[in-house]
Structure formats: C-alpha cells, structure tokens
Amino acid sequence: MVWPIDRHRDEAICAAYRDGMTTRRAIAERFDVSRRVINKVLKRNKVFKHPGELRFWRKVGIRTKQECWPWKASKSRLGYGQIGWQGRVTEAHRVAFELTHGEIPAGAWLVHSCKSPDCCNPKHIISRTKEDSIRDDRQNRVLYARAWRANNKRERCYQQARRRARKWRATPSWADLGVIKKIYESCPSGHHVDHIVPLRTLRGNKLVACGLHCEANLQYLTATENVRKRCSLPDDLAFP
C-alpha cells in the first residue's frame, strides 16, 4: 500500500528545518514521526544535500532567483564571503557552486556574472576557463566604458568640447582642412588617426610640446598602438 503524501506536514517539517531545528531528532519528536520519515521528507523536498548545507544557507540573504544573494557572515578583504568548510576557510561562492552544481572542474575559475563578490546566488556564479574569463574581462571593460559614457553625458560633452578646442587652437591658418577631413574619413577600420607629435604633451604638470593639427602631423595607428602611445612624443623627437 502506498501512503498519500501529506503536503502540509511536509511543508511544516521543511519549514522547521529551515527555521533552525537542525537535528532530525528534534524535528522527529515535534512531529511525532520517526527520523527516517524526516529524512525522506527532506530528501523529497530537496532540503537536504550536505550536512553543512543548512549552516551555509543560513548565512546567505536568499532572495528571488534573479536577485543577488548577499553573504551575511564574514568577508575577506576583497569582499568575498568566507566560511569554515570541511576543515578550512573557503570562499562562500565556491561552496554555493559546489552545493548546487557539484564539484568545481579542475583549473576552472568561478566568476560572478553580477560582479558582486559577496553574491551566493548559484545562478550568478559561472565556471569559466582562465582564457575565457580574461577575454570576458576585456569585453566588460568595453561595456563599462560605453555605460560610463551613457551615464555621464555632461562630463563627456565637456571632455569633447575641450578636445575640439585644443584641436582648433592647434590648427595653423595654412592647414588644408579638406585634406585633414579626408584623412579622417578614409581611416581604415580598427585604426585611429594619431597626431605624430601630440597636441599636448605633459611632463608632470608642465606642457613640454604642442603638435599641430595639420596633414603632415597625422598618421594611422592601430587602436592598440595608439592607446599604448598615449601622449608620448615619437622617439626621434623625445628629449630628456
């Protein structure tokens, strides 16, 4: 004979377990059933997987599935949650990952998709290879810069105006604006138009060189080269 499952009793038992009645014996006494039944109920409702699991989840501010679940107990200096786990101090998000997804693959990096280090929502913790996560970081930097520009329009306008003014001041009367325009328009993709002698080279706070905004002072550089060059003078012009 199969006994019908008493949902109300199941829920009450799970609730008691979650509320901090950690020992099965205590719950069994309260509901007047055997410990085996309690084990079955907890298993059926997926409340129990690991002996320390309850202790772990009690330290997590569990919210909805999409939200971040902040760690409520001790944190490392970098903001990651810490817990004593199987005899040593472990990062909380690693434990959260292990408890929900199983063992962490060897050589994998655990990454927070939500960017908050103390988050223990298993849905926000992804395991990536080292190469993947470095590439992601690079993409994230691009996204971050884009977001910054969108959220700081005034500051961005101000920067652009200053840059325009600097360009305008550096343009001599004899410069051929048509040619300059053409140089900018025909810039190959992935390249930047660069001033060979920068419009403004600072050494400390001192202005040491001002290049001209004219066709002879323009060149194409790949984006990486240009970012690396920044505002430094070309080697043959550099002076001590």
Q: Which is nearer to Zn ion, 26 or 114 (CB)?
A: 114
Residue 61 C-beta: closest distance to Zn ion, Å: 11
The residues that bridge with 218 in the sheet, in sequence order, are 195
Residue 38 C-beta: closest distance to Zn ion, Å: 32
Write phi, then psi, for 25 (nearest 5 degrees): -60, -45
Closest CA to 69 of 57, 78, 84: 57
| Interacting residues of 49 by C-beta distance below 8 A, sequence separation 6+ | 99
Cα radius of gyration (the chain): 31
Write phi, then psi, for 203 (nearest 5 degrees): -120, 105
Residue 111 C-beta: closest distance to Zn ion, Å: 11
Residue 221 C-beta: closest distance to Zn ion, Å: 39
Cα–Cα distance measured from residue 133 to residue 142, given in angstroms and rounded to the nearest whole number: 14
Residue 119 C-beta: closest distance to Zn ion, Å: 3
Q: Which is nearer to Zn ion, 28 or 68 (CB)?
A: 68
State the Cα angle at 20 between 15 and 25, rounded to 5°.
85
Q: Which is nearer to Zn ion, 127 or 217 (CB)?
A: 127
Q: Which is nearer to Zn ion, 21 or 68 (CB)?
A: 68
Q: Which residues bind Zn ion (CB under 5 A)?
A: 68, 114, 119, 121, 124
Q: Which is nearer to Zn ion, 17 or 71 (CB)?
A: 71
